[in-house]
Amino acid sequence: MKDQFYIVDADVLITAKNRYYAFDLCPGFWESLIYHHQEGRIYSIIPVRTEVFAGR
């Protein structure tokens, strides 16, 4: 079976932060995203990074 990876858009990150997985409420969710990104399973694109860092 070929390794799977996922592309995450800005809405996934922003909605998670605002509604379900606030940084202080559920740090494990964010740690998991970082871990899976480092393992090459989760990716995003530069415009998403720009949007998230702009705080929109």
The DSSP result for 18-32, as a single string, is: III--TTT-HHHHHH
Measured distance CA(15)–CA(9) in Å, rounded: 10
Query: Among 4, 20, 8, which residue's Cα sits nearest to residue 51?
Result: 8
Q: Residue 12 above 80 pLDDT?
A: yes
* 1 assigned to some structural domain: no
Q: Residue 2 above 70 pLDDT?
A: no
The pLDDT assigned to 56 comes to: 54
Structural domain count, the chain? 1
Tell me, yes or no, if the pTM score tops 0.95: no
Q: In terms of residue numbers, what domain contains 37? A: 6-54
- Segment 46-52 shows an average pLDDT of 82
Confidence of residue 27 (pLDDT cuts 50, 70, 90): very high
Dihedral pair phi/psi, residue 33, rounded to 5°: -60, -45
* 40 assigned to some structural domain: yes
- Average pLDDT, rounded, for the chain: 88
